[in-house]
Structure 1
Amino acid sequence: MVLDFSKIADKIPYILGGIIDTLQFTLLSAVVGIILGTILALIKISNNRPLKWLAIFYTSIFRGTPLILQLTLIYFSVPQLFNYPITPLMAGVIAFGLNSAAYTSETIRAGILAVDRGQREAALSLGIPYRKMMVDIIFPQALKNIMPAMVNEGINLLKDSALVSVIGVTEVLRRAGIVAAEKFLYFEPLLLAGAIYYVMVMTLTWAARNFERRLRRSD
C-alpha cells in the first residue's frame, strides 16, 4: 500500500476550509445546548410538576431516538410544515442543539444536586434571593463537578458534526468526500479528514483540562 498525498495536495486547503464550518456549527450547537439544558435542569429540580414532567418527556424523546433521524426530520419537515426554506447549517444547529440540551440538562441537574444541600438552605435562611444563590453559590460549585462530562459532550458534538454532511453542510468530512469523488482517491482525503478531527478534539481536550485545573486551583 502506497499513500500519495501529492495527488490531493491542491485540494488540501479546500478540505482545511471546512474547519471553519465545523467549528461554527459545533460552537452554535453547544451554546443552544447549554442554554436550553440549563433551563431544563432548573425545571427538573423545581416543584412545578407539569413543567417537570414536560422536561422529562422532552429528554426522553431526544435521548430515545437516533440523532440522524432528528437531523433529517428537522431539515426536510420544516419546509413542508411551515413553508420555510431552512438552511442545512440552521437545521444542524437546531437538531444538535436540542439533542445536546437533553443530555446536558441531566449533567447539570446532577451537578446541582451534588452540591451540599446545607449551602442552599443556609443561603435561603440568610435571605439571599433564589436567582442570586444559584448564580453565585450553587452554579460555580456545580461547574467543577460537571466539567468533565461537559467536555465529553463538547467532544461528542465536534465529532458528530460530521453527520451534517448528509444534509449538504460542507464541513470537513463533506469536503473530503467531494475531493475523493473528484480524484477517484478515497483513502488519502478521508485520512486527512480523520487527522483534522483528531487534532481539533485533542486541542479541545487540552484546553478543557487547563480550564478545569484553574478551577481546582481557585478552591
Structure 2
Amino acid sequence: MSDDQPPPGAPTSTARAERVTEWHVRVARHHLGPGPYLDHLCTDGRRLRLLSREGPASGYVADATVVQRVREEAPGCPVVGDPDDLPDAGFHAVVAVEGLDALDDAGVLAAIDLWKRVLRPGGRVLVQAPDAGGRGPVLRGVERVLGDRDHGRWAELLESGGLTILRQGSDGLSRPPYGRVPAWLDVRLLSTSSQLSAGRLVLGPGSGEAAVFVVEVPG
C-alpha cells in the first residue's frame, strides 16, 4: 500500500478539510462569541452552513458564480457579492480564513476597513492566512519568494489597520503528508489533531501552515 493510499479508516484529505472547517466554526463560537456572523470571502457554503447553526450567518464573496454556489450550499443564509450590500454594524463576528493571501497590502487594509464598518463596537474577527515562515512550508520544502507574508507581517498589517490582537497562533501541520511519512503514521501531526479536537486556538505562531489571529475592533 503506497503513502497516497491510506488504509481503511485513515483520514482522507477531504475528511481533514471537513475537520478544519468544523474547527473554524468551533473557534469562532469560543473565541468570537455569538453571531450574527459574516463569512468573509467564502468559497463554498460548508462553513457558512455550520456557522448558521450557532447564530445568524451571512456570506460575502466578490464573484457572482461563487455567490450562487454558496447560496445553494447554505440555503437560507444571505450571501452577497457587493460589500456595499453589507449593513453597517450588522455583525458581531467575522470569519476571514480564505482569500486574504490573494490581496496586496492595500487590499488587506481595505478588507480590514470593511470589517470595522460591518462589525459592532467590540466585534471580533477570526483571521487565517498562509504563514510563509511557518514549519509547514519548511517541511514541504516550499521556497519563500519576495512578497510572501509570514506571521509577523500579518500581525503588522492587522495592527496597522487599527485592530487589537487578542490571541495569535497557528493552524498546525494541516497539509500532510510531510515527506514520505504517511499522515496516519506521522507523530508530528498529533498536536494539530489535538487542537482540532479541542476546538480552540492553542498552537503557537509559526508551528504550522497558516497564521491564525483573533482580533477585535476597539469599542
| TM-score for the superposition, normalised by structure 2 | 0.24
| TM-score for the superposition, normalised by structure 1 | 0.24
Higher relative contact order (CA closer than 8 Å, sequence separation 6+) = 1
Tell me which protein shows more helix as a share of its residues.
Answer: 1
Select the structure of larger CA radius of gyration. 1
